[in-house]
Structure 1
């Protein structure tokens, strides 16, 4: 038994009181945003219903957050929908509608879709059906295509989604072991690949900027002060870790599928130990929320120590290298140690990053659809 499509498509520019856009948004892309913006231009109130199944690898909460970030004027809500998709079965329709109506109980007078099932969906809501670009001519992309090749569809994604999908690589190590040199070299290496990779971003070490300001402020009071006179308070380290994380998130949203960071919040946990002798729980919590994928540890062996005015820990380098290695292993972080001359380190780093990117993004398939 098949359902009957009784509601005609609306073709004139009616303004509706409350419109609905419904989808998986797995992940959201330019076509989805075009649909939402079109609906928003033609209604007083818009609800966007994000439906996700438990089998899908991107959490519902993430998709809702992404859609809210891109469409702050819409009411974005989410629902878990584990019912198989069969647009030919009225009982399956009834089950889906129970989920939809629980999430969107308010009356709806228009349903905007780009799908063939839009008419039946609108009929069941007692609303007009508005079909938007069903041939995908404005934005020839689909979520299936994005899941299959995120790099090839990178320009179809908005910053919140790019920030979530970007592979984040952190270069960390003891003082004067080449972390900044390596992070910048990797950034330039991937930018040179061109295309979407030309936008590869580099996130500098915020802790260094913070330290420079502390030294400058001290010298404003005492012109003869040097780095040995600078002291740190434990409460400064969570601020450094959070600012580093915020800068990383912003760069990930603006850049390519890979991001290079000169240190991160996890590294800040070790720097707190180095300066204050023990852990800081607030820094550890910030580090635990991180979204990094690979750490590159620069070894201190056979690397000359260069005092640039903000360094005084040559004798601590073996201890710091070992602390980084121990904590990276203890916390289960994926890492590679970089040793030898710069060219050898860079080759090792590129191989590790390429291996990470070659693994893909691991999207699971959505529930199969029968139409």
Structure 2
């Protein structure tokens, strides 16, 4: 016989306590339905939360119950008929971590399972996570982290310390960081003049890598180059811009623009080694940043000075959580 179960919650956002709750529920039932309580006033939109829950728990059925302008309290007796409307089949078990599920289970003619009601295993709640996500980073599941994460991208001409700086910052503040995809692409490509499509391949590889590593990174995702810098590479290599590539640019929260006045280190994968070429490259990057209205800090000086400037920027970024506009404005 198939055992069915229901979990009710806002999951705004889901945290590791929720993950433990749902995983435990999966041992208690054969078919689990997650009812996501929502309202028009929620600081995180129901669609975002539904996507999180479906990504975290692909075997469960996730249903959004939007109650309009006002949120419906979890202990409201209205939840019984609402859940019945979504789940007309018999419900065997109601799982949760708070006492209100006793009455809910009774209304659904089901058995209640109250798990970790004192939150001893995972002492976190969604309000605290939302208010201070960086302070509760370990409580945020992988799929949820990019929503709260800030992205800091290092760009500049060749041999200005981008990779070195990304590694230093990730080691100090938590990594991994997103490495440049253009270098391995250059190392293994067929020799000859670059084609426009190759710059798109580089963007494809870089963005895919970024999306993967963002799930494991810290509150700040450090990134060595990005599609904006690839767009500048297109101008340098092809002598023209690529509007279709530039349409793919997603600005990070902030850039560190490393100036061209760093010692040149020979590398067979590098192209533009004269100071005149490096300055031209730098000017094109700065022009592109300004054209896109990007937020950036100029990093200059010797290596120790550059490192100190970069660390200061990161510390400033960590003072405030990432803000979301529109339906997901932080409240």
Alignment TM class, shorter chain as reference: 0.7 to 0.9
Q: Aligned partners of 2:286 and 2:45: how far apart in 1?
A: 31
Does 1:107 pair with 2:73?
A: no
Match of 1:156 among 139, 152, 164: 139
CA contact 2:167–2:177 (8 Å) conserved in 1: yes
Structure 1 residue aligned with 2:253: 293
CA drift at 1:282: 4.5
Does 1:334 pair with 2:295?
A: yes
Q: TM-score, normalised to structure 2's length?
A: 0.86
Q: How does 1:299-318 map to 2 (within 5 A)?
A: 299-300=259-260, 302-313=261-272, 314=274, 315-318=276-279
Structure 2 residue aligned with 1:223: none
Kindly report the root-mean-square deviation, in angstroms, between the aligned alpha carbons of the 2 structures.
2.7
Moved more, 113-122 or 348-357: 113-122
Q: How does 1:50-89 map to 2 (within 5 A)?
A: 50-81=36-67, 82-86=69-73
Alpha carbons of 1:242 and 1:22: their partners in 2 closer, same or farther (altered >3 Å)?
farther
SS across alignment from 2:298? strand
Alpha carbons of 1:138 and 1:176: their partners in 2 closer, same or farther (altered >3 Å)?
closer
Structure 1 residue aligned with 2:187: 212
| Structure number, greater radius of gyration | 1
SS across alignment from 1:254? coil
Q: TM-score, normalised to structure 1's length?
A: 0.77
Structure 2 residue aligned with 1:368: none
Structure 2 residue aligned with 1:3: none
Q: Aligned partners of 1:80 and 1:326: how far apart in 2?
A: 46
CA drift at 1:176: 2.4
SS across alignment from 2:202? helix
CA drift at 1:210: 0.3
Structure 2 residue aligned with 1:136: 119
CA contact 2:145–2:215 (8 Å) conserved in 1: yes
Does 1:31 pair with 2:31?
A: no
Match of 1:353 among 305, 314, 325: 314
Q: Aligned partners of 1:350 and 1:208: how far apart in 2?
A: 25
SS across alignment from 1:33? helix
Does 1:320 pair with 2:311?
A: no
Unmatched tracts of structure 2, length 5 or more: 324-328
Cα distance per residue 1:51-84 (max 9 Å; x no partner)? 3334333332222222222212112233434423
CA drift at 1:124: 4.3
Moved more, 109-118 or 303-312: 303-312
Cα distance per residue 1:260-293 (max 9 Å; x no partner)? 21111222222222222333344334323x6x32
CA contact 1:24–1:51 (8 Å) conserved in 2: yes
Q: How does 1:237-276 map to 2 (within 5 A)?
A: 237-276=199-238
CA drift at 1:167: 2.2
Alpha carbons of 1:71 and 1:172: their partners in 2 closer, same or farther (altered >3 Å)?
same
Structure 2 residue aligned with 1:232: 194
CA contact 1:273–1:279 (8 Å) conserved in 2: yes
Structure 2 residue aligned with 1:277: 239
Cα distance per residue 1:25-55 (max 9 Å; x no partner)? 1111111112111222122211112233343
Q: Aligned partners of 2:195 and 2:61: how far apart in 1?
A: 43
CA drift at 1:123: 4.2
Alpha carbons of 1:258 and 1:131: their partners in 2 closer, same or farther (altered >3 Å)?
same
CA contact 2:228–2:288 (8 Å) conserved in 1: no
CA contact 1:163–1:250 (8 Å) conserved in 2: no
Q: Aligned partners of 2:66 and 2:156: how far apart in 1?
A: 43
Does 1:364 pair with 2:327?
A: no
Q: Aligned partners of 1:287 and 1:101: how far apart in 2?
A: 46
